[in-house]
Amino acid sequence: MVVLKGVPALLSPELLYALARMGHGDEIVLADANFPTSSLCQCGPTEIRADGLGIPQLLEAVLKLLPLDTYVESPAAVMELVPNDQARGLQTPVWRRYEYLLHEAGCTKSLEKVERFAFYERARKAFAVVATG
């Protein structure tokens, strides 16, 4: 196996291939272990496994290679908390980590929050969904 210089070792060949094939308007979902990746990808995006990795470390690696779309309102989105979790005051400190990583990659726009079922619909149209966890 050849090791490419400057390419984060945690990015699998399958993920690198997906990133290389993406074009204008394509989106990739970095999903946690509870996201319904396999069922959602049965009739849609490519499923890529990244078991054992967390979203923050994967996001950091992907941002080293993939330019963010500067022509959209926000080039990154998360699934918004459901109303019950919002009412309970559930905190999502990992979102601050995402924002930090995006800022380090040159993104000056806010992280978009997308309602749960709208996020699922958007993910169905993604180029690929990467299952982490």
Positions marked active-site: 24, 69, 120
Distance linking the first and last C-alpha atoms of the chain? 25
Burial class (CB in 10 A: 0-12, 13-18, 19+), 28: buried
Cβ atoms of residues 130 and 59 within 8 Å: no
User: Using an 8 Å Cβ cutoff, are 96 and 62 in contact?
Assistant: no
Which pair of structure tokens corresponds to residue 30?
A: 């970095």
SS3 99: helix
CA–CA separation, 123 vs 45, rounded Å? 8
CA gap 119, 131 in Å, rounded: 15
